[in-house]
Amino acid sequence: MRFVAELDAQALPVEVTEVAGRFRVRVGDEVVEVDARWPAPGRCSLLIAGAAYAADVTEKDGWFTVDVAGETYRIRVEEETRRLLRRRGSGVRQAGGQVLVAPMPGRVVHIAVREGQAVKAGDGLVVVEAMKMENEFKATLDGTVKEVRVRVGQTVDAGDVLVVVG
């Protein structure tokens, strides 16, 4: 699986592959073998390149605080495709509006709005299935739906305009 880890305002690509009950973790160009066990909730025992570590892990609002070897790290880990959808699929703001575009190919499975409908920031607009995951895209501002350019069941390509809010 591919992830993006945010640490100290830096986004790092991470790839994790399970091999015989252990994990091969690639962060950038560095590859390490990791054996991880969870002996208790919030407590992780790690064996990394022959060195043993105990980590305390807590989660709040999608961010993990990891205390290990006297250091504290605040990390958000997100599956790469989900991050792409969240960052690109939430729509592009243009002067006075939002143009929601498909971040990747998929199929429209639900349309929550109609032209002329008032929406508030955070309201759901459309759901697109991509890579066997349903992804809901929301309004980023208050406004009125100016155009709905898709229909349920339609296949869309990356960059296709789905909804316009003004």
Verdict on whether the full-model pTM lies above 0.75: no
Query: If you ran DSSP here, which 8-state letter would residue 1 be given?
Result: -
Mean confidence (pLDDT) of the chain: 86
For residue 82, the model assigns a pLDDT of 65
Q: Which residues contact 13 (CB under 8 A, 6 or more apart)?
A: 2, 3, 4, 27, 28, 80
Query: Which residue's entry shows tokens 């969240």?
Result: 86
89 to each of 38, 62, 67, 102, 151, how far by Cα in Å? 35, 19, 33, 6, 17
Q: pLDDT class for 12, splitting at 50, 70, 90?
A: confident
Cα separation, 15 vs 125, in Å, equals: 32
| Domains of the chain with bracketed CATH | 2-80 (3.30.700.30), 90-165 (2.40.50.100)
47's CB contacts (< 8 A; 6+ apart) are 34, 35, 36, 53
The token pair at 97 is 């509006």
Give per-residue pLDDT as tens, 20-39.
878 999 988 899 999 999 99
Do the beta carbons of residue 98 and residue 124 sit within 8 Å? Answer: no
Using DSSP's 3-state secondary structure scheme, residue 141 falls into: coil
pLDDT tens for 80-125 read 766 665 555 445 555 568 888 887 788 999 999 999 999 998 899 9
Given its phi and psi angles, is residue 83 left (phi above 0), alpha (psi -120 to 50 degrees) or beta? alpha
Query: Residue type for 94, please?
Result: Q
